[in-house]
Structure 1
Amino acid sequence: MTVHPSLQNYADAWTHSIESISELVKPLVEGEWNRRTPCPGWSLRDIVSHIIGMECEQLGDPRPIHTLPRDLYHVQNDFTRYMEMQVDVRRHHTAPEMTSELEYTVIRRARQLRNESRAPETMVRAPLGKEQTLERALHMRAFDVWVHEQDLRVTLGQPGNLDSPGALVARDTLLDALPKVVAKDAGAPANSAVVLDVHGPVEFLRTVRVDADGRGSIDGAPSLGPAVSLAMDWETYYRLACGRVRATSVADRIKVDGDQDLGAAILRHFAVTP
């Protein structure tokens, strides 16, 4: 039995990114595992530990019994505390322990996906003791591993895969959150439009429209009179939307035409990942 057709895209994207991560970390020597990454509070080791932990949870493995230190500044709520557990429990693992556990986990997960026969709407494990559909779970794993692959690439100075299958999943995931950013968080006025023009390895133009009731929606049709237009390259877009950089630090890579105050408000709220 193979993966359901509606899940195949996510399975392929996950496979591409997770195999790339394995290749990136395989040659690392002990000291390199502690290098700081763009992901707030996490080293290379921490990112790989997070990936291992989340994939193990999808396999049904029990969560570790572990007490977190009190001085982790980036752990500020229940969600980040939940995520940190799988990370902190591996902070003293050696390089061979990390690579071997990652390899074993990838083998197990790949086998699980090859034999997946459940329907996409099947409810499965989610963080914080919640549940989500199998389709949502695999979608989020494909998104998560691509973003963390890019964290590793930035840290190691090995750019690549900005147009991979995972990049396209990331594009769609981040765009789904944009109407809320524009309409609710940034407070774009009713009956207005905001245009986002992204170029580079992944190119797209999207318009967020705010209706008379202040609700946002997104489509691919251009707007003749947008309140503001934002233009940037794909790498800048994903890094902003994933909270890896602030707009002030990449201002030279962003062009804002129209209402400058609204443009600034949108960029202040651009990060949509937890």
Structure 2
Amino acid sequence: MSLHPTLQPYADAWTHSIEAISELVQPLVEGEWNRRTPCPGWSVRDVVSHLIGLDSEMLGDPRPIHTLPRDLFHVATDHQRYMELQVDVRRHHTAPEMTSELEYMIIRRNRQLRNDNRDPGARVRGPFGSDLTLEESMRRHAFDVWVHEQDLRTALGRPGNLDSPGAHVTRDVLLDELPRVVAEDAHAPRSSAVVVDVHGPVEFLRTVRVDIQGRGTLETAPALGPAASLSLDWETYVRLACGRVTPEAVADRVKTDGDQELAAAILRNFTVTK
């Protein structure tokens, strides 16, 4: 038996990104592991530790028994504390320890994926003991690993893979959140439309229509006379949606038309990651 065809794109995206990450960090000297990434509070070592921890848990390994220090300024919520545990426990690991553990985890996960014959709808355990489908778990994981690959590339000055399989999974995950951002968080007017036009390695144009009840839906057809429109490049879209930059920091890379207050409200609420 082998992985269900529905799940294969997410396995392929994960494999592409995690192998790229392994290649990126393999030659790093000790000091380079301490470079700051765009992920708030995390160094290169921290990001890799996070990824090792996530995949270890997907393998069924127990979470480490570890007490977090009280002075981690970037850790304020239960979600952040949960994620920080796998990171902090590895903060003093050496470069060879990090690369060895990463390589071993990749071998184990590849073996697991090759032998996994579960249905996409099978229920699995997620963070905090949450219950979700195997398909959603793998989709979210492929998204997470690609975003962190980009964090590492930014920190190390090695841009690339902006149109890789993980990038296309990320596009779909982020677009799923766009109606909520526009209709609920930015409070776009009822019976209005907002157009988002993204160019670059991954290109798309989407319309969010807000109905009379204030619910947002995503459409591929462009709207005539939208209340507001935003045009930006793919890398900026990702960095905004994943909380890596503020709207002010990339104001020169985002073009807005129409209702400027609405456009500003959308950009203020653009971050969808926790």
> In 2, are the aligned partners of 1:232 and 1:255 still within 8 Å (CA)?
yes
2:41 counterpart residue number? 41
Q: Shift in Å at residue 225 of structure 1?
A: 1.1
| Aligned residues of 1:11 and 1:138 also touching (Cα < 8 A) | yes
Does 1:92 pair with 2:92? yes
Contact 1:57 1:125 in 2 (8 A): no
Say which SS state the counterpart of residue 195 (structure 1) adopts: strand
**Could you tell me which residue of structure 2 aligns to residue 154 of structure 1?**
154
Query: Take 1:169 and 1:254, find their aligned partners in 2: how far apart are those partners?
Result: 23
Structure 2: how far apart are the matches of 1:68 and 1:170? Answer: 30
Shift of 1:93: 0.3
**Using the alignment, how far apart are the partners of 1:110 and 1:125 within structure 2?**
19
Matched, 1:66 2:66: yes
- Pairing 1:79-118 to 2, within 5 Å after superposition: 79-118=79-118
The amino acid across from 1:113 in the alignment is L
Cα deviation, residue 67, structure 1: 0.3
In 1, Cα distance between equivalents of 2:72 and 2:215:
37
Letter aligned with residue 177 of structure 1: E
Contact 1:33 1:45 in 2 (8 A): yes
Q: Give the gaps of 5 or more residues in structure 2.
A: none
TM-score (norm 2): 0.99
Query: Does the 8 A contact of 1:208 with 1:217 survive in 2?
Result: yes
Partner of 2:211: 211
Instruction: Measure how far apart 1:2 and its partner are.
Output: 1.4
Q: Shift of the alpha carbon at 1:131?
A: 1.9
Letter paired with 1:181: V
SS of the counterpart of 1:230? Answer: strand
String of CA shifts for 1:90-130, please: whole Å, max 9, x gaps. Answer: 00000000000000001000110011111111111200122
Deviation at 1:265, TM superposition (A): 0.3
Alignment pair present for 1:180 and 2:158? no
Amino acid across the alignment from 1:44: V
The 8 Å contact of residues 181 and 270 in structure 1, kept in 2 or not, is answered as yes
Unpaired segments ≥5 residues, structure 1: none
* Range with bigger deviation, 132-141 or 42-51: 132-141
Q: Distance in 2 between matches of 1:192 and 1:114?
A: 47
Question: How many angstroms apart in 1 are the aligned matches of 2:29 and 2:181?
Answer: 41
- 1:225 aligns to what? 225
Per the alignment, residue 15 of structure 1 pairs with 15
1:62 Cα offset (Å): 0.2
2 CA distance for matches of 1:84 and 1:34? 16
CA deviation digits over 1:206-247, x for unaligned, max 9? 000000000001010100010000000000000000000011
Deviation (angstroms), 1:74: 1.2
Shift of 1:258: 0.3
Equivalent in the alignment of 1:135: 135
Q: Which moved more, 1:147-156 or 1:120-129?
A: 120-129
User: What letter corresponds to residue 194 of structure 2 in structure 1?
Assistant: V
The whole-number CA distance in structure 1 between the counterparts of 2:62 and 2:244 is: 30
Match of 1:247 in 2: 247
C-alpha separation in 2, matches of 1:3 and 1:162:
26
The residue identity in structure 1 corresponding to 2:21 is I
Q: Matches of 1:15 and 1:163 in 2, distance apart?
A: 15
Distance 2:129 2:115 in 1: 25
CA RMSD of aligned residues (A): 0.5
Aligned equivalent of 1:120: 120
Q: TM-score, normalised by structure 1?
A: 0.99
Q: Which amino acid aligns with 1:52?
A: I
State the one-letter code of the partner of 2:203: E
| Cα deviation code 1:116-155 (max 9, x no counterpart) | 1111111112001222111111111100100000000011
Whole-angstrom distance in 2 between the partners of 1:107 and 1:195: 43
Runs of 4+ aligned residues of structure 1 deviating over 3 Å after TM superposition are: none
Identity %: 73
The answer as to whether partners of 1:37 and 1:152 remain within 8 angstroms in 2 is yes
* Aligned 8 A contact 1:247 1:267 in 2: yes
